[in-house]
Amino acid sequence: MNLSLASKVAVVTYLIILVNILVFLQSLTDPESYNLLIQTYGLVPFEVMGGKNLLSLITSMFLHADILHLGLNMFFLLVSGDAVERELGSSRFLALYLSFGIIAGLFHSYLNSASAIPTIGASGAIFGVLAAFAILFPFRWLLKLFGFIPIPLPAILFVFITILTETAYVSSGIIESVAHTAHVGGFLAGVFLTLLFIPKKRVAQK
């Protein structure tokens, strides 16, 4: 494998996790300031579709509602991002991660253009990473949570079941506190961008 592409250590994955944890710590030390961060840097679909506060497409990815929200996102980023980054390289992984998150945010904003509720979390970007993981390593194992029961599944089956569930939520029209449309947008971005990058990676390795 060409080391100019691949990375021995998933530096970006661990750095993203660290930044998310450090930002979330403010919610414990100064809840009022953290709520202000959410109001200021959370993604508001109505604003984004009006061309305002576009930076929130990135900043919202580093804000989380509570410890469970943060913990689940960082866990799935760790188990999938580590392998994807070491396979594709740190700079390419960072570009893809941010692209997944931005596209997820735009997809969510487009489908919820009248919403003034701030959306936060790295889930959209992480769904993109999970899609990349399933494409690169379809038969590696991931833990799928059914309720609070973890069940090991091959990555390709994990992603199929997960995206089927998310699509069902979006199609149902049920409004929840979870941005399922961002999950679907991130997944679609993960599929298309990963497939776009794989041929270039293989050519560079020859």
The parts of the chain modelled with pLDDT lower than 70 are: 1-7, 145-148, 169-178, 199-206
Q: How far is CA 127 from CA 29, 98, 106, 162, in A?
A: 29, 12, 14, 9
pLDDT, residue 152, reads: 84
Give the model's pLDDT for residue 124: 94
Say which DSSP state 177 is in.
S
Going from the C-alpha of 172 to that of each of 104, 136, 168, 176, 181, the distances in angstroms are 19, 31, 6, 11, 11
User: How far apart (Å, rounded) are the C-alpha atoms in residues 10 and 8?
Assistant: 7
Return the pLDDT at 203: 40
pTM: 0.86
pLDDT value of residue 125: 96
Instruction: Please tell me the predicted confidence (pLDDT) of residue 144.
Output: 72
Residue 179: per-residue pLDDT: 74
Question: Per residue in 57-101, pLDDT tens?
Answer: 999 999 998 898 899 899 989 989 999 999 999 999 999 999 999
